[in-house]
Amino acid sequence: MHELGITQSIVEIAERTAAKQQATKILSVTVEVGSLSGVVPEALEFCFEACTNGTLLEGAQLLIKRIPASARCCDCSREFPLEELLACCPDCGSAAGELLSGEELRVKELEID
Ligand SMILES: [Zn+2]
């Protein structure tokens, strides 16, 4: 389950950031998860408690912000939502699209004490 490794990295990033700000406790972590990132938000939530035991994040809330995927057509410039990675433009049918969002996986915000 690769969500475990991802959750551990989230915890590491959060701890490092908090240490820089001399925080003693992290109250919540906001993580952005794009719909094409391959990460299942529920699995992150599932791993979070186990990964935060004994860290600055113990008892912290994991807030997951889901980012819907979108693309811009390279031919007609229309922006459209992406359900899957290989989708064609709904207007002109072009397969040449530029990904605008959906691959995000990052720690967006920390609430520290
Ligand atoms: Zn198009």
One-letter-per-residue 3-state SS of 8-77: HHHHHHHHHHHHHCCCCCEEEEEEEEECCCCCCHHHHHHHHHHHHCCCCCCCCEEEEEEECCEEEECCCC
Which position has the token pair 């994040």?
A: 57
For residue 78, report the distance from its CA to the centre of ligand 1, in Å: 6
Strand partners, 98: 72
Q: pLDDT, tens digit, for every residue of 19-70?
A: 999 999 999 999 999 999 999 999 999 999 999 999 999 999 999 999 999 9
Complete domains list, the chain, with CATH: 2-112 (3.30.2320.80)
User: 35 C-alpha to center of ligand 1: Å?
Assistant: 22
Q: Which residues, by Cβ under 5 Å, contact ligand 1, an ion? A: 73, 75-76, 89, 91-92, 94
* pLDDT band with cut points at 50, 70 and 90 for residue 98: very high
Entry pTM: 0.84
